[in-house]
């Protein structure tokens, strides 16, 4: 079963920053770099990035999680 992630950096970046214990509304380049490194670590586990396809794929059992 796969994992899909929304193709929406405006939604995903604050989640990554929060996970790292940083301000989700940060505008600091250093914080963005840390979030980028986090996202690169999980990239191999993401089936695809899309903002609508996941609804059908969850219903069909093609993916189990959409973030």
Per-residue pLDDT of the chain (67 residues; tens, 9 = 90+): 899 999 999 999 999 999 999 999 999 999 999 999 999 999 999 999 998 899 999 999 999 999 9
The topology under which CATH files domain 2-66 is D-Maltodextrin-Binding Protein; domain 2 (3.40.190)
DSSP count for the chain of H helices, then E strands: 3, 3
Long-range CB pairs of 19-22, under 8 A, 24+ apart, other chains included: none
Domain spans of the chain, in order of start: 2-66
Query: Global pTM?
Result: 0.82
């Amino acid at each position: 079963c796969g994992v899909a992630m929304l193709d929406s950096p405006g939604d995903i970046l604050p989640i990554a920053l929060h996970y790292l214990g940083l301000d989700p509304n940060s505008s600091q380049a250093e914080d963005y770099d840390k979030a980028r490194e986090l996202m690169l670590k999980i990239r191999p586990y993401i089936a695809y990035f899309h903002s609508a396809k996941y609804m059908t794929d969850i219903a069909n059992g093609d993916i189990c999680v959409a973030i």
